[in-house]
Amino acid sequence: MAAPQQEAWLGRVDQALALGDRTETRTALAALLAEIGADQLRLHDRAALLSSASFEGLLIHSDGKVVEINDRLCEMHGYHRDELLSGDILRMCVAPEDVPGVLAHMRDGFQGEYLVTGVRKDGSRFRSEVLSKQGTLGGRPVRIGAIRDVTERERTNALLRESEARFRELTDAAFDMTLFTRDGVILDVRGACARVLGRSAAELIGHKVFEFMAPSAVPAAQQMLSEKRLGFIDVTAVDAAGNLVPTLAVVVAGTLNGQPVRVAGVRDLRGVQRLENERRGLEQQVQRTQRLESLGVLAGGIAHDFNNLLAGVLGNAELMLERAATAEDHEIASAIITAAQRAAALTRQMLAYAGRRNLGRREPVDLGQMVRELRALLDATLSKKARLELTTEGTNVVLGDPVTLSQVIMNLLTNASDALGDQAGDIAVRVKRVSEVDARWDHAQGAMVGPGRWVLVEVEDSGIGMDDATRGRAFEPFFSTKERGHGLGLAACLGIIRAHDGAVLVESELGRGSRFSILLPAHDVALAAEQPEIPRAATSPCRVLVVDDEAIVRGQLRRSLELRGYTVTEAAGGRAALALLADKPDAIDVMILDMTMPELDGAEVLQRLRAGGSRVPVVISSGYLDVAVERRLPRGEFQGFLAKPYGASELITAIERARRAGPSALT
């Protein structure tokens, strides 16, 4: 009942009592009680409605004694109202580990929110949020607690935190640094800002992001900000030391502490650019290697055909010289021989570039000793203004051909002298054994090198040096920076080094000199003392089978050998030679066998010859021996090798050695 109505009924009761009207008094009192009862009923219904409709459990207690609870609290914990009102509600509804904290809040009169683990009647648990507040009821202090089941909210928050953690991990993995900005001002920084920019996060926060960009990158970044664009942008940053740092930024919209910001994930591109440069370098190296190999095949093919022609020219010129009747004829024949020999020398350089291998025995060579022995020759050959310094450490033995290896050293030293020009300068030659190689040798040409036993030869000069383009073509045949150079010197050096299973590395910078480094496999066999060759008595002329598909070569060999008393039989190919030996196996004393022929090459002929039981001594002859063909040659089954073109004396020597060695000698 409203207060004015109560006052009106009370006034009516007082008036009836004053008049002594007992009937009126009873009537007034009955009406007043009826109104009060109705009002209490309405209040009870309202409280019951609020209790049942509340989303939160409500608890009122005084000094730990429960005064009132609502239906939602009972429903939340699975108890009846009477059970909670009569029991120890704190220990019934709160997990044991959280009870001390709740008691502390009650003791301290804490007002606010806190989380506890609620316990249901069946023992199951849930997360609940308690809002505690101090109040009064009937003039006495009470504590009011509103309890809410926040299990789903906490689960959602946990998932959100997990998602945020994953996002941070993904961001950290994808980006080196993350910037949170508003209006271009850095609000927060995460990631490796010290590694990228050489600055701490505190040095960045509060500053404009443009302060850490190169001037050339600022306009594009400012335009992107003014247009509120998102996406990718290439930015050149500046670190604390003033170095330019290429970066890629991915800008997206985000929030920081609930406020909208721009989030920029920044990638440091220095590593990517370094890898890209290495990839390009490897591609260029592969292309250069393939180009050089192709040129090597071309040079080998040209040299083979050219040597076949030179064999005929040189051999017939020698015959002319022997038969020259006049001084003029002698001079003409000598001129032809000289020109042929010079052409043969040029061809040998082409073959060296092509990596032709010598089929003769290799011998131990001390490269340090070789350099020292060449000292006198070097002093006469090199520039008078060159200061030559030789440094050798210990014994540096390799297994190879001393003639071609000395050619390599002489060529490198001659180039170093030419690089000095007319200026005074230094040339240093260093020879030593090494077991470890550094990353520089990844860019070398020739064999793949790694840890092992190597002999290192370095030739370094203080001359004019080379630019990148010249350095990249240094070993190409027919490429030269000299006015009169034919461009085969370094190309031949590369071929010789490859034939010795070695590698060569050139390092040079324009105006700062060059350094050529060579690695060759070390050899542990001690050098044998030189034994003078014991002269052997010449054997009598014998029967020789010449097997060659070039008629000019066969004809020249026949005339040259017959002139010296040999009996010569010609075969234009491998099949003809095998057929002849099958019919008359004892008619031949020595065979001169060309390697490159149509149908059956020399390797196949030799294999069939030995398989058929023939032990006739064989001298292999070739203008160019391909490595693949060489591998097919049966080792120990031939007794000599003649590199075209060759002279009559070399031919006779090879035949006589083959006869003396016999069919069982190893090559």
CATH code, domain carrying 439: 3.30.565.10
DSSP E strand stretches across 367-443: 386-392, 397-400, 425-434
Dist. CA 368–CA 396, nearest whole Å = 6
User: Could you tell me the two tokens for 300?
Assistant: 């080998």
pLDDT above 50 (res 1):
no
Q: Are 367 and 508 members of one domain? A: yes
Q: Where in the sequence is the domain holding 159, given as residue range(s)? A: 56-174
What is the pLDDT averaged over residues 540-557?
87
Q: Are 377 and 241 members of one domain? A: no
What was the pLDDT predicted at 525?
66
For the stretch 82-131, pLDDT in tens is 888 888 888 899 999 999 999 999 888 899 999 999 999 999 999 999 99
Q: Which amino acid is at 132?
A: S
Among 119, 146, 174, residue at a domain's last position: 174
User: Could you tell me the two tokens for 170?
Assistant: 């993904």
Which of 277-286, 438-447, 454-463, 534-543 is the most confident on average? 454-463
pLDDT above 80 (res 33):
no
497 and 446 Cβ atoms separated by less than 8 Å: yes
What was the pLDDT predicted at 34?
61
Q: Are 94 and 24 members of one domain? A: no
| 100 preceded by a cis bond (ω within 30 of 0) | no
On whether residue 469 sits in a domain, the answer given is yes
Q: Are 477 and 396 members of one domain? A: yes
On whether residue 332 sits in a domain, the answer given is no
Three-class secondary structure of residue 89 per DSSP: helix
pLDDT above 70 (res 162):
yes
Query: Residue 375's pLDDT band (boundaries 50, 70, 90)?
Result: confident
Q: Of 175, 242, 172, 190, which Cα lies nearest the Cα of 213?
A: 242
Among 470, 488, 521, residue at a domain's last position: 521
Between residues 62 and 535, the one the model is more confident about:
62
What was the pLDDT predicted at 352?
60
Q: Are 511 and 547 members of one domain? A: no
Q: Are 208 and 163 members of one domain? A: no
pLDDT above 50 (res 531):
no
Side-chain-side CA neighbours of residue 408 (13 Å): 32
The tally of domains found in the chain comes to 5
What was the pLDDT predicted at 625?
62
What was the pLDDT predicted at 288?
65
Q: Are 653 and 547 members of one domain? A: yes
Q: What percent of the chain has pLDDT over 90?
A: 21
Q: Are 108 and 125 members of one domain? A: yes
Sign of CA dihedral 63, 68, 74, 76: negative
Among 155, 174, 193, residue at a domain's last position: 174
On whether residue 199 sits in a domain, the answer given is yes
DSSP E strand stretches across 393-490: 397-400, 425-434, 445-446, 454-461
- The neighbour count for residue 296, using CB atoms within 10 Å, is 21
Q: Are 471 and 549 members of one domain? A: no
Three-state secondary structure string covering 601-639: CHHHHHHHHHHCCCCCCEEEEECCCCHHHHHHCCCCCCC
Query: Residue 664's pLDDT band (boundaries 50, 70, 90)?
Result: very low
On whether residue 476 sits in a domain, the answer given is yes
Which residue blocks in 215-269 are alpha helix, DSSP H? 218-226
48 and 69 Cβ atoms separated by less than 8 Å: no
Query: Residue 621's pLDDT band (boundaries 50, 70, 90)?
Result: confident
On whether residue 338 sits in a domain, the answer given is no
pLDDT above 60 (res 663):
no
On whether residue 436 sits in a domain, the answer given is yes
On whether residue 285 sits in a domain, the answer given is no
Relative orientation angle of helices 551-563 and 648-661, to the nearest 10 degrees: 80
Q: Are 18 and 63 members of one domain? A: no
What is the pLDDT averaged over residues 444-456?
86
**pTM: predicted TM-score of the whole model, two decimal places:** 0.44
